[in-house]
Amino acid sequence: MGNLKIEPLRFQMGDKDGCMMEAETIIYFHPIWEEAYKNAAAKRHWWQEVRLRGEIFSVEVTGGPFALVDCPIPSFYYKKKAWPPKILSEAMETVLHNVQGMADAWLHPTIMTYVSEIYTLRWETRSETKEKVFAGLLSAYAGEWLYKKGEVTVLLGKPEETEQQMEMTRSLLTPYLPRINRLRFFYEEVEGTDIWEEEAFFLEDYSYEYGLVPRMTPYEMKESERRFGRERCGGVILDYTKEKEMPRMKRDEQIVYLDMNSDSEKERACAGKNGWILYVSPLRYLDTIVKNSYDRKT
């Protein structure tokens, strides 16, 4: 991987002046999927230097405002020895530094366990990068449905995350707002605060610009678990929460459920709904891009 050089790609980001901006390159570090190589080690001999291999997928392949470097990680460091976190982190740093232009990393949860908690903060994906991936998967899986149904439900996370998530939601929904007629936010209520005052900048913008008055609904907390009331949600659901609870969903229509945290339990819950809920997540989105590229080669 030491000789990898990737030229920065150009992508129209829709900025006010219409100028061209560099598309960010995201390096996706994930486990090796091919069955024949699942038990492979990064090196055969103790004296070898570890080098990770990567392949770039252009903006045209990803379909979003980013290029992607596919970088599979062997299960073992040497023979059957687990990866020393420091060595793996340094190997990934080499990949990152060999990418020209703007670059960030996205680690599969399994790879995050390889580098351990010691390097968790170092390999935390930037918020701006997450937004690019969210925008790409929203366009790929929910864009048409947003235009058709015009209904969005947003499940906000912890109170300290509310402002950032409100800002991200406003950015993600901007291309679709002229067609959205129902927008509802669930949020965690904080005693002594008014959500309409705290988030007035974003809420008033929906009203002034699009004549859309969002519905703000606090979670019902029962024994430290969140409840959403008896009303069912439909259209597109954006879930920022890390908790296991999910809202009741309409059964008479297709629903797109965007799980921003790629929670496996929520994926299984949606899979058990006989196909009327389309579950999508950043992890599934990135995996699909990579696996589709493999299929095109075979």
By the 8 A CB rule, do 13 and 53 touch?
no
The confidence score (pLDDT) of residue 135 equals: 92
The model's pLDDT over 154-186, given as tens digits with 9 standing for 90+, comes to 999 999 999 999 999 999 999 999 999 999 999
Judge if 70 and 195 occupy the same domain.
Answer: no
Judge if 135 and 247 occupy the same domain.
Answer: yes
In a domain, 4, yes or no: no
Spatial separation of the C-alpha atoms in residues 180 and 118, rounded to whole Å: 43
For the chain, count helices (H), then strands (E). Answer: 10, 15
Mean pLDDT calculated for residue range 226-238? 88
- Cα-Cα-Cα-Cα dihedral sign, residues 297, 111, 128, 182: positive
Judge if 154 and 85 occupy the same domain.
Answer: no
Grade residue 19 by pLDDT with cuts at 50, 70 and 90. very low
Q: What is the tally of structural domains in the chain?
A: 2
> How many residues are given for the chain?
298
Grade residue 253 by pLDDT with cuts at 50, 70 and 90. confident
The confidence score (pLDDT) of residue 105 equals: 95
Judge if 240 and 157 occupy the same domain.
Answer: yes
The confidence score (pLDDT) of residue 73 equals: 93
Judge if 113 and 174 occupy the same domain.
Answer: no
Query: Residue 175 belongs to a domain with what CATH number?
Result: 3.40.50
The confidence score (pLDDT) of residue 130 equals: 94
Give how far Cα 212 sits from Cα of 152, 173, 208, 219, Å: 12, 12, 8, 22
In a domain, 297, yes or no: no
Grade residue 293 by pLDDT with cuts at 50, 70 and 90. confident
Angle, nearest 10°, between helix axes 162-173 and 127-141? 40
What's the mean per-residue pLDDT of the chain?
85
Grade residue 57 by pLDDT with cuts at 50, 70 and 90. confident
pLDDT at residue 227 is higher than 60: yes
Judge if 118 and 142 occupy the same domain.
Answer: no
Spatial separation of the C-alpha atoms in residues 272 and 105, rounded to whole Å: 32
Which of 96, 125, 154 delimits the end of a domain? 125
Judge if 121 and 134 occupy the same domain.
Answer: no
The confidence score (pLDDT) of residue 242 equals: 92
pLDDT above 90 covers a percentage of the chain that reads 51
Grade residue 268 by pLDDT with cuts at 50, 70 and 90. very high
Q: At 81, list the tokens.
A: 């020895």
In a domain, 291, yes or no: no
In a domain, 292, yes or no: no
Judge if 116 and 168 occupy the same domain.
Answer: no
- As a dihedral over the C-alpha atoms of residue 24, residue 146, residue 170, residue 157, rounded to 10 degrees, the angle is -90
In a domain, 290, yes or no: no
Judge if 248 and 155 occupy the same domain.
Answer: yes
State phi, psi for 12 to the nearest 5 degrees.
Answer: -75, 110
Give how far Cα 27 sits from Cα of 37, 68, 171, Å: 20, 6, 23
Spatial separation of the C-alpha atoms in residues 52 and 106, rounded to whole Å: 15
Grade residue 222 by pLDDT with cuts at 50, 70 and 90. confident
pLDDT at residue 21 is higher than 60: no
Grade residue 23 by pLDDT with cuts at 50, 70 and 90. low
Which has more pLDDT, 28 or 50?
28
Q: Provide the domain limits for residue 77.
A: 9-125
The confidence score (pLDDT) of residue 1 equals: 36
Judge if 182 and 274 occupy the same domain.
Answer: yes
The confidence score (pLDDT) of residue 295 equals: 61
The model's pLDDT over 76-104, given as tens digits with 9 standing for 90+, comes to 998 889 999 999 999 999 999 988 888 99
Whose CA is closest to 155, among 61, 20, 261, 294? 261
Q: Which residue has the tokens 């209520």?
A: 189
Q: Which residue has the tokens 């929460």?
A: 241
The model's pLDDT over 121-156, given as tens digits with 9 standing for 90+, comes to 999 999 999 999 999 999 999 988 888 889 999 999
pLDDT at residue 11 is higher than 60: no
3-class secondary structure for 195-236?
A: HHHHCHHHHHHHHHHHCCCCEEEECEEECCEEECCCCCECCE
In a domain, 134, yes or no: yes
The confidence score (pLDDT) of residue 35 equals: 60
Q: 80-98 as b/e, with b when 16 or more CB fall inside 10 Å?
A: eeebeeeebbebbeebbeb
Which of 106, 125, 144 delimits the end of a domain? 125
Give how far Cα 292 sits from Cα of 30, 118, 136, 141, 285, Å: 15, 33, 16, 15, 11
pLDDT above 70 covers a percentage of the chain that reads 88
